[in-house]
Amino acid sequence: METHKELTIGLFGFGTVGEGLYRILQQTDSLKAKVKKVCIKHPDKKRNAPAELFTTDRNVLLFDEKINVIVEVIDNADEAFEIIRTAFRNGKAVVSASKKMIAEHLPEILQLQLETGLPFLCEAAACASIPVIRNLEEYYDNDLLHAIKAIVNGSTNFILTKMFEDKLEFNEALLLAQQLGFAESNPALDIEGYDAVNKWVILLNHAYGIVEHPDNVLFTGIQNIQLSDAAVAKEKNYDIKLVAQAQKLQNGKVAAFVLPQFVNHEDHLAFVKNEYNGVVIETGFADKQFFYGKGAGSFPTASAVLSDISALRYDYHYEYKKLYHHKPSELTTDFYVRTYISFDKISKVPKDDFEWIEEWHGGQERNYFIGTIHFEKLVKSDWWMQPGVSLILAPEAIIENIEIRLLKKRSLELAGVI
Ligand code: HSE
């Protein structure tokens, strides 16, 4: 029987995830993996581990020939990239949980893997405890993968649940998410959708072979959602979730974005509450499959890092089959979306940009309508992100070009125009 590789780990970061991993490894005797050194930023902080384990000099880890795995779980994306680049050049396998770093440096990270042949595993970087990357890599063929819809940020899902179900104020819910170790050090990254789009870029790569910078994927967070939007959602029997979505259109291209969305109570994603994440995958013949698990927090995230470390024992690599063995898919902005728009002042909304408007409600302080707009018009503008305006997608929001003419005709008929 083949003996498994001995793994000697150099760990960067001893925060929520790093310390969680250290504790888990102490309880996982079966894995022949030992943390030799931990590189930290603040030596004066009290740590629950022997002092001789720690150093502030990254080279002590990166140039130690006994260390064959670098695990990097810090939250400074630029430093994280420098660390992994040196680790690759020094012949070490890399496990990372740095979503921002991976999303922003995807082409370079792919190149480093090609040049060195070393593994780079990052399951913890998207949906924490849910093994979604490895499933997308191994199981779902590009041609069969029709759509993925997911909740990929635990903090915003936690805040929405606490606000709309437990009636907490936004700031109270955020504070709780921070205390529980779900939020980023800069929580604006969660609230404004940056964290979610970074994760989505990583998943688009493993799902469809797409290599795109996060700046090229339309996104926003939950910063503009109002209690009055939640009231409308309730009336219509919907929940509001921050949803990352990708769908292969009939022209073979992929529509992708991260936006707040109305979700039917029967939808799998409505079941996803608090810091949980959920991924619904739609394929050609299997129909829908649903992955569910904790999307943030110390042990759930560390468990994914542990699983990556464990996979290194048998030299597991991502093969990026969709990118290298198939024809990679391309993103498109040429489709329509059905949206709910609420606003304090109509002057903020270019209503003539909409193909049609189905519902219009005027209130004393807030108004809303439901309308269909070409996606490119959202990409090219930012009126929908300004304070006082909130954009929430309708369920089944994507409308392909070929459907639009029929729907347009029908809406005009209903309006009595033709
Ligand atoms: N801040 C992140 C979240 C942590 O809330 O999902 C897990 O990546």
Going along the chain from its start, the domains and CATH numbers come out as: 7-127 (3.40.50.720), 132-292+317-324 (3.30.360.10), 336-414 (3.30.70)
CB atoms within 10 A of CB 236: 13
Whether 241 is catalytic is no
Instruction: Indicate if the pLDDT at residue 3 is higher than 90.
Output: no
Which of 16, 122, 184 maximizes ligand 1 atoms within 8 Å of its Cβ, making it the mutation to test the pocket? 184
**Secondary-structure percent of the chain, ordered helix, strand, coil, rounded to 5:** 40, 25, 35
Q: What is the 3-state secondary structure (H, E, C) of 179-245?
A: HCCCCCCCCHHHHCCHHHHHHHHHHHHHHHCCCCCHHHCEECCCCCCCHHHHHHHHHCCEEEEEEEE
CA atoms 82, 85, 89, 95: torsion sign: positive
Pocket of ligand 1 (CB under 6 A): 128, 153-155, 182-184, 190, 195, 295-296, 301
Distance CA 36, CA 50 (A): 11
Taking 80 as the threshold, does the pLDDT of residue 417 lie above it? no
The DSSP 8-state label assigned to residue 122 in this structure reads -
Q: How confident is the model at residue 1 (pLDDT cuts 50, 70, 90)?
A: very low
Task: Tell me what the mean pLDDT of segment 115-129 comes to.
Answer: 98
DSSP line for 258-305:
EEEEEEETTSGGGG--TTEEEEEEEETTTEEEEEEEE-SSHHHHHHHH
- Give the angle 300-302-308 at the CA atoms, nearest 5°: 115
Half-sphere exposure of 336 (CA within 13 A, CB side): 17
List the structure tokens of 204. 């688009």
Q: Is the pLDDT of residue 141 over 80?
A: no
Give pLDDT tens digits for 325-372.
988 899 999 999 999 999 999 999 999 999 999 999 997 778 999 999
Full-model pTM: 0.95
Amino acid at position 112, single letter? L
User: Which one is predicted more confidently, 35 or 31?
Assistant: 35
In sequence order, the 6+-apart residues with CB closer than 8 A to the CB of 27 are: none
Task: Express each pLDDT in 187-246 by its tens digit.
Answer: 999 999 999 999 999 999 999 999 999 999 999 999 999 999 999 999 999 999 999 999
Interhelix angle 106-116/194-208, rounded to 10 degrees, is: 40
- To test the pocket of ligand 1, the residue of 74, 152, 153 to mutate (highest count of ligand atoms within 8 Å of its CB) is 153
- Cα 301 to ligand 1 centre (Å): 9
Task: Please give the Cα distance from 392 to 240 (Å, whole number).
Answer: 8
pLDDT, mean over the chain: 94
Q: Which of 199, 241, 294, 322 is catalytic?
A: 199
Quote the ligand 1 centre to 261 CA distance (angstroms): 19
